[in-house]
Structure 1
């Protein structure tokens, strides 16, 4: 396994750690450790840091894969899958924490499930479908929106009363839908030819 794919797998391994940052701990457990108390008090902050590191590895694995000619079909499958898992888990955590409405998470996660299903069909036919530019833009917007929401609209709330974090999420949801439609349209013929 090459380094680019290892970094992708590391991104996937960070997802459970991100989730743990939002697990409420009982007072009996908290009383046993100062470290657990700190983690409980600053769980969201730790979660944001882990999320930023995980999202940052997306650029790193892609850079290494291209620079050192380590682009593989496995990497083309794992990289977008890791992205989808990271974003989906973050959205589910935010729904659980009442930071966002469930309907917007359903839209974004539904699109990701559909595109993953298309990729799986393509893989069974020996076709590797890489992410396109719209998919990359969608990922950047989703990451920015998630970070802004987890930070409680910081630093935007210092400058304006407008919920920039929620506006970012709306834009991300719109681009997510458009990129999904574009992905289906662009790859439909390739899948038809691969029958």
Structure 2
């Protein structure tokens, strides 16, 4: 197993630890900071595994499948935790998760038809905005950070919808070729 795939697996392994520190009182006030570090480390593995895989030609079918899945698991888990802590509106989380399911299904149909749907810049912007939102909401510092959290919530929500529309518009042939 190559390094990018090991980083992807590490990201998945970190998720339960993240949840424990987000939702349970283990160390008191330090829990949110431990959860934040775990989330940041996991997020960095998302960036690193792709860069390493492309740079050293280590792209594998496992990586193509697991990397986006690990990313979705990490982000969706964090959003659900934040919702259960009343730091994020459930409607926002449902829109984000629905987008992920729609794109995953879209990619599956495309793959069955020999079409590879590459990540777009809108999708990358969406991911960065969601991760920034999660970081700010985990920190829960109050004051101006509450305003930043609100702004990031709207930015992430808008980019989520825009990236969905972008994927569908650029790949509408999947809908006609996929027997949908």
TM-score, scaled to structure 1: 0.83
Q: Does 1:139 align with 2:123?
A: no
Which runs of no fewer than 5 residues in structure 2 stay unpaired? Answer: none
Match of 1:52 in 2: 40
User: In structure 1, what is the Cα distance between the partners aligned to 2:118 and 2:41?
Assistant: 23
Partner of 1:105: 93
Specify the alignment match of 2:55 in structure 1: 67
Decide which structure has the larger Cα Rg and report it.
1
Closer, same or farther: CA 116–153 of 1 in aligned 2, 3 Å = farther
Equivalent-residue separation in structure 1 for 2:74 and 2:119 (angstroms): 16
The answer to whether 1:130 aligns with 2:139 is: no
User: What secondary structure is seen at the aligned counterpart in 1 of 2:12?
Assistant: helix
Return the TM-score normalized by structure 2.
Answer: 0.89
Tell me which of 54, 59, 70 is aligned to 1:82: 70
Change (3 A) 1:174 1:107: same
What is the aligned length?
Answer: 179
Matches of 1:9 and 1:114 in 2, distance apart?
24
Matched residue, 1:18: 18
Q: Counterpart of 2:92 in 1: which secondary structure?
A: helix
Could you say if the C-alpha distance between residues 162 and 152 of structure 1 is closer, same or farther in structure 2, counting changes exceeding 3 Å?
A: closer
Note the residue ranges of structure 1 that are not aligned, 5 or more in a row: 26-35
Q: CA RMSD in A?
A: 2.0
CA contact (8 A) 1:77 1:128 kept: no
Quote how far apart the aligned CAs of 1:162 are: 6.2
Between the aligned partners of 1:84 and 1:145, the Cα distance in structure 2 is 15
Three-state SS of the structure 2 residue aligned to 1:80 is helix
